[in-house]
Amino acid sequence: MKTILLLTDFSQTAMHAASFLQVIAHQIKAEKILIYHSCETFSQEMIMITDVLVPMPNDERQILTDARSSLERIKSDLEGALSDNVQVDVLMDKRPVITAVEEMTSDMDIALIVLGICGINDQGKNSVGKTPAMLMKHHQFPLLIIPSSAPLAPITRIMLACELKDIEERLPVEALHKIIQAFDASLYIVNVDKENAIGAAGFIKEQTALHRLLGDLDPKFFYPENKDIVSGLLEFSTEHQIDLIIAVPKHRGFLEGLFHESATRKLAVRAIKPLLLIHRQ
C-alpha cells in the first residue's frame, strides 16, 4: 500500500489509531502517511472536538497553533517508529472532514484511510461518533476503523465476513488479494447467510465461485449458524483470535443493516477488533 490517510482530532482514541498504524505500517509496506486534521468551526462561539461541541478559546489563532503542534508531534512519533523510507506529511485546513476525505481520495492515490472510533461509554465500551458513523455509512474508499481497545499487535489472522450471494459481481477480489497479501495473514472466510436464503443449488454455485476467486489465498471456510449476525461475527473473531475483520458493504444484503445508526453502533460498541470496510469499485 502506497499512501495511507490518517484522520485525527488529537483525542486519546485518535492517538491510539496512530499507534496502531505504527505497528502495521511495515506490514503493509506503506510508502507515505498523510496525517489530516480538520479545523472546521461551526460557529464563532463553538468548535467540534471528538464529536462534542466545546467553547472556542478567545484566540482562534492559538487553536490553529496548538493543532499544528499536535500534528507535528504525531508526525515525529511516526517518523521515529518507522523506517526512513516512509514519508510522513501533515495537512490541516477548515474543510468538513467528509468533504476533505472525498476530495483527497479523488485527487490522491490513497490506498487506505485510518481513524479511531471516538470515545468510551459508561460501560467501558467503544462508542461511535458522528464523523466515523458518516464515513462508515457513505464511504466509497477502504476505511480501517480502530476501536480504542484494539490491541497494538501485528495482523496475522483476518476474517472476511461474506454473504454467499452474487459473489462474482459484488466481491472486491483484487482489493482483497492486495490486502491479504500485504499483511501476509491467514484468511478466515465466514459465511453470514443461510443456505435456505438462496436455495441449495444457489448455495453450491456461490460457494464454488468463492473458492475459485479466493482459493489461491489458502483461506479457511466457515459456515456458522447464528440468528444474530453481529454476535456471530464477534464470537467467531474471539474464538479464532482474529486480528482484523473485513466487511464488504452492499446496497442489499446482510451488511446493509450495519449501516443504520442503531446497528452500526451495535457492531462498533461491541467490537474490540479493527474493522476494514471495502467496496468493489
- Could you name the CATH architecture of 157-277? 3-Layer(aba) Sandwich (3.40)
52 torsion bin: left (phi>0), alpha (psi -120 to 50), beta (else)? beta
Ordered by start, the domain boundaries in the chain are 3-146, 157-277
Query: Can you give the pLDDT at residue 247?
Result: 86
Domains 3-146 and 157-277 share a fold: yes
Mean pLDDT of 186-192: 89
* Structure confidence by residue, pLDDT tens digits, 198-255: 667 777 888 888 889 998 999 998 887 767 777 788 888 889 999 999 988 764 344 4
CATH assignment of 3-146? 3.40.50.620
| CA dist., res. 225 & res. 230, Å (int) | 12
The partner residues of 222 in beta bridges, in order of sequence, read 190
217 and 178 Cβ atoms separated by less than 8 Å: no
Give 138's strand partners: none
Range in 56-65, 89-98, 125-134, 221-230 the model is least confident about: 125-134
At residue 246, what is the residue type? I
Burial of 214 (0-12, 13-18, 19+ CB in 10 A): buried
The structure's pTM equals: 0.82
